[in-house]
Structure 1
Amino acid sequence: MPRFAAIGLDHRHVYDLTAGLLAAGAVCAGHDPETSDPRVLTGFRKRFPDVPAMGRDRLLDDPSIDFVVLCSVPRDRAAMAIRAMRCGKDVMVDKPGVTTPDQLAAVEAAVAETGRIWSVALGRLTSASVQAALAVARSGELGRLVSLTSLAPHRLNRALRPAWFFDRAAYGGIINDIGLHSIDQFLAFADVSDATIAAATIGCFGTAPPGFEDFAEITLRSAAMTGSMRLDWFTPDGLADWGDGRLFLVGTEGTLELRKNLDLLGRPGGDHMFITCKQRTRYDGRADRPVAYYRDFLDDVRDRGGRMAEAGRLFSACRLALRCQAEAYRFVPVTS
């Protein structure tokens, strides 16, 4: 069974990644207790009490450890991933994997140099419902796809956020951070490795501290379809989840709506998919379906079978997110 180490316990996403890998059959050989947020470390130890604490150098130098999971402060992830790859480890990293074009170029060079796997655990990969929607789209049931609309609202949960969360240099900006999910999703549904940026907008609409990016919109085009994406940190506390994420697909023969987090009519859980075509409208709930990403990653670690071979598209998604972030029009809030 592949063995891994959890390094950089700075974001709570480390809980989901570790749990997904353990469920897929991996063994967590240790965790690095160095963190910028002791609450994340406490939560990790509560959830995984049998995973021993070890120093970072010891974990990276251990030849029995096959790969590392990185959830460090985003600006530090590229350097740590490169170090891990040069120590012979594959890497699964939380999004965003990089925060600057120079970091992305360095990661690409390290992958080419070492032959190691570098995978960003994006929402398209870790969501059974998005994978199901992608399968429907590729089956032809919707006809030719012409439009994708993605809504990705998030709850701020200010009390849970460490200081680096509000530092743009640390997280790379709203589009590079949470927008990377949406951009990668568009490339997958359009079945392309790159896209034209039709528009990108970022707003700092008053969420403290001043300058925090709390809203963004992106419009992308491929040769055959368009994609419109909205991201924000405005989910009200009254909602029963951290956000009401949605995906809408329009094809020449049908439409699909995916309610990722919740169903306003009260069906439990998330991953609610509604498909309408010429013959019927149907509902497909995916909340209990397994996610293949963790198993596929472990299989690639074992046999180098190329299941993570979409790295080329991953690099393109990261590059496109960085470009959108850099080129976006910035709204200045109107003050009275």
Structure 2
Amino acid sequence: MSRPLRFAAIGLDHRHIYHQVGELIEAGAECAGYCPETSDPRVLDGFRERFPALQPVERERLFDDPLIDIVVSAAIPRDRPAIAIRAMRADKDVMVDKPGATMLEQVAQIEAVARETGRIFSICFSERFVVRACEAAVRMVAAGEIGKVVQTVGLGPHRLNRAIRPAWFFERDAFGGILTDIASHQIDQFLFFTGARDAEIVASATANHALPDVPDFEDFGEILLRGGGASGFIRVDWFTPDGLGAWGDGRLFLLGTEGYIELRKYIDVAGREGADHLFISNRTGTRHIDASGEPLTYFRNFLADVRNRTSTAMPDGHALSVTRLAVRAQVAATRLSCRG
């Protein structure tokens, strides 16, 4: 296949669609159009502002176009599996925003259709694939700079921005719960950096501390998991204060047998300017690395996988393993009492 790969955007319900589309174009793919259907007109307005040359196209025409190779989606989470399945059955590979599904039944359906059609189902875990400090950490861990990774601690705080959230954001059936949604990032990082193919959810919990008027919503969650001889702890929340100069102080700690790495992904609180800070301490010393110039590799690798039918962007089955674990953690979670 010598022509550029072509993709369509279907599901403009979350702002993550911006980097999915933008980074694929940057990696050399062509966008054949987008479906303008959305639950949040502000997302559509932002899409048109960023990509004014792209044309709206009716959804079924995009699915049925034989010259479109890929469908990308940041639809309402509960709707992503149906879009992915429709695309794969139309002989298209798929990249969705996280979470890839909200129920175990959906995970099984996606897995069955991917096996049946031979298509790629990939999830753009933006807290790894669109974070340059993570790219630097990948190289360092692969080079053995901290030995074998035996534990990860992933912190995923977010700013709520309640006034601008669409209605579905607060509907449990729509977003799947805080562990299904946000914590899928940290589960992805645990499996990737430890090399574990699967894991056990040892314990999980959720809470609604600050929004009693929306009882089904969860603003706090935590998971303890183990796999591949390693362990991991995850904390996610919606408590980023308005005074912080980033949407969240996302951090990742990688403990190895010969050192450790800390990533301050989006802000070094009261420290250095900018994002993508990496701190490493090992047998040769302790240092800070500005990883803001590190190239992103996921989108280029994904396109290579579409061409070559390989799995360099992520191992076969990884996306669904992460999703399955996140949903299991959500289903098993203890609901914490928030009474004083």
Whether TM exceeds 0.5 here: the answer is yes
Q: 2:171·2:216 contact (CA, 8 Å) conserved in 1?
A: no
- Alignment map for 1:298-309 (pairs within 5 Å): 298-308=303-313
- Which segments of structure 1 move beyond 3 Å, counting only runs of 4 or more? none
State the shift of 1:5 in Å.
0.8
Q: Which amino acid aligns with 1:38?
A: P
Is 1:204 equivalent to 2:208 in the alignment? yes
- With the length of structure 2 as denominator, give the TM-score of the two structures: 0.95
Of residues 298-307 and 42-51 in structure 1, the stretch that sits farther from structure 2 once superposed is 298-307
Distance 1:76 1:187 in 2: 26
Q: Distance in 1 between matches of 2:271 and 2:22?
A: 27
Find the aligned partners of 1:306 and 1:320 in 2 and give their Cα distance: 21
Q: CA deviation at 1:80?
A: 0.8
* Cross-structure match for 1:315: 320
In the other structure, the counterpart of 1:230 is 235
Alignment of 1:1-336 (within 5 A): 1-122=4-125, 123-207=127-211, 208-308=213-313, 310-334=315-339
Give 1:125 deviation, angstroms: 2.8
| Alpha-carbon offset, residue 135 of structure 1 | 2.5
Q: How many residues align?
A: 335
Q: Is the 8 A contact 2:99 2:180 kept in 1?
A: yes
Q: Is the 8 A contact 2:78 2:174 kept in 1?
A: yes
Letter in 1 for 2:166: P
Q: Deviation per CA, 1:179-221: give whole Å up to 9, x if none.
A: 0000111011110111122211111113242221100111111
> How far apart are 1:34 and its partner, in Å?
0.8
Q: For 2:188 and 2:7, how far apart are their aligned partners in 1?
A: 26
Distance 1:288 1:309, change over 3 A: closer
8 Å contact from structure 1 (residues 271, 286) kept in 2: yes
Post-superposition CA distance 1:3-45 (Å, at most 9, x none): 1111111111111111111111111110101111111111101
Structure 2, unaligned runs of 5 or more: none
What secondary structure does 2:232 align onto?
strand
Q: Tell me the C-alpha RMSD between the 2 structures.
A: 1.3
Is contact 1:272–1:283 with CA below 8 Å preserved after alignment? yes
TM-score by length of 1: 0.96
List alignment gaps of at least 5 residues for structure 1: none
Q: Distance in 1 between matches of 2:24 and 2:273?
A: 25
Superposed displacement of residue 309, structure 1:
5.2
Instruction: Give the distance between the partners of 2:121 and 2:284, measured in 1 at CA.
Output: 43
